[in-house]
Structure 1
């Protein structure tokens, strides 16, 4: 998360090139799981508001929280008040939310952010702000693969975690947690109940089948742009001034898959992400 706080981080690129979650995640899973009122939604680690806006449409009030001023600047630019009068953003950590009264939130969500949290403090603050019966839902996605192109997928893995590539540039334990499909998030049984987990691993059946749709058809250039938003890619650039690890990675991906030649960035490819979702209710 430290990379996201740096002034030279590409916030606009992050907003434009990160995966968009399927609306069925909200309409077919999170909202049916939820019980009771839909007055207040809290989106932790909201980034540019990727979830705050579409899921917030189902709530009277939606609050996005992020510790990065740059992320919030991007979120506010994408959330004009005349179109989203019920949405507000606050600069804060997930573990400290003094602007929220006790038992005032109906649903808390965290998309691709909970792996950064201080978990004991996080659970304590969630128990405070969540009403009885309210829903907490958190989800994460793993590294992408190219279905049907195992050699290209191996290149991604080598560059992502190789000790001579981006491996040492990931902040820990966040990255390991991210790869766990939310298994690291263990709700304290004294305060939470109704635990449900939905998981998917590319080419491995499991969990709710329609959550498999965090599979995308992207132009190869868009996949490249997404990889450039990785915190580790940013950190690698800081440590290796003048190099381009993502450019090198995509040169090797194209060679491995036979996607070379002019106009390669316009080639449409299948991309899949393993992912996990946790839902739990406040007692």
Structure 2
């Protein structure tokens, strides 16, 4: 799946990950010299890694995503696939793939991770799909949005929606506490985020129907005043290990 076509929206509307996740990764790493953020997108995870590591190498196969990535004095961005990079052997203390590993050739990515990892390096992969607003809103959203687009997700997303349970993880597991993205958004902001979903985009391309505009009044009825911000939780599926 190519994300460059809506890189601006992706950068503007995707939420940030919890800071505790990056503290945990840094605490588990054998050092804090160098981290690799694979499939960095707009640099979302790389920014937080750069607050904890001396240098971060952030890669993405999309030139457009990299061109819009957030600049940082300790981040080196480059256009590279996660499965084959030009990094030297045994250089990284931490390797991360945020909301991305379901798009990879996983076996090749893991082989590359083993090649470039320092002994004892930490590897972390995580993603998220669901969000929780209220039982009534969540039910309406599942019926009016998730059900219509369920056939429009690419194969990789199905691995994500299954909580990464079908993705192998051949590393020494690190017991990981639960993490969740916590935001406070109004309804238009939430819908702007949902509009970055590849399944929603594919549905619109396939049918010509502006799904979110069509269902907005129904969702607003469960939300209340659309301009009122509400707390939203997005639980992460995370696997951490040691190489």
The TM-score, its normalising length taken from structure 1, stands at: 0.80
Q: Deviations over 1:110-169 (max 9, x none)?
A: 1111111111111111111111111101111122121xx32221222224432xx21121
- Does the CA contact (< 8 Å) of 2:187 and 2:223 recur in 1? no
Tell me the CA shift for residue 197 of structure 1.
4.9
Instruction: Give the equivalent residue in structure 1 for 2:68.
Output: 74
Instruction: Give the equivalent residue in structure 1 for 2:55.
Output: 61
Structure 1 CA distance for aligned equivalents of residues 74 and 16 of structure 2? 21
Indicate which of 234, 241, 246 corresponds to 2:212.
246
Instruction: Give the equivalent residue in structure 2 for 1:203.
Output: none
- Output aligned runs, 1:1-283, within 5 Å: 1-2=1-2, 4-5=3-4, 9-27=5-23, 29-34=24-29, 36-75=30-69, 78-79=70-71, 84-97=72-85, 99-146=86-133, 149-162=134-147, 165-172=148-155, 174-188=156-170, 192-193=171-172, 195-198=173-176, 207-208=177-178, 211-212=179-180, 214-241=181-208, 243-255=209-221, 257=222, 259=224, 264=226, 266-282=227-243
Q: Deviations over 1:42-88 (max 9, x none)?
A: 0011010001112112222211111111211110xx21xxxx23211
Structure 2 CA distance for aligned equivalents of residues 40 and 278 of structure 1? 20
- Does the CA contact (< 8 Å) of 1:67 and 1:93 recur in 2? yes
- The structure 1 segments of at least 4 consecutive aligned residues displaced by more than 4 Å after TM superposition are none
Structure 1, unpaired ranges of 5+: 199-206
Structure 2 CA distance for aligned equivalents of residues 89 and 159 of structure 1? 39
Are residues 245 and 197 of structure 1, via their aligned partners in 2, closer, same or farther at CA, if it must alter by over 3 Å?
farther
Q: Deviations over 1:249-274 (max 9, x none)?
A: 3322112x1526xxx2x211121213
Tell me the CA shift for residue 18 of structure 1.
0.7
Equivalenced residue count is 243
- Does the CA contact (< 8 Å) of 1:197 and 1:276 recur in 2? no
Are residues 133 and 90 of structure 1, via their aligned partners in 2, closer, same or farther at CA, if it must alter by over 3 Å?
same
CA RMSD of aligned residues (A): 1.8
Q: Deviations over 1:215-236 (max 9, x none)?
A: 3211111101101111112212
Are residues 186 and 237 of structure 1, via their aligned partners in 2, closer, same or farther at CA, if it must alter by over 3 Å?
same
Structure 2 CA distance for aligned equivalents of residues 141 and 30 of structure 1? 18
3-state DSSP class of the match of 1:272? strand
Structure 2, unpaired ranges of 5+: none
3-state DSSP class of the match of 1:42? strand
- Does the CA contact (< 8 Å) of 2:137 and 2:219 recur in 1? yes
The TM-score, its normalising length taken from structure 2, stands at: 0.92
- Does the CA contact (< 8 Å) of 1:155 and 1:249 recur in 2? no
Larger radius of gyration: 1
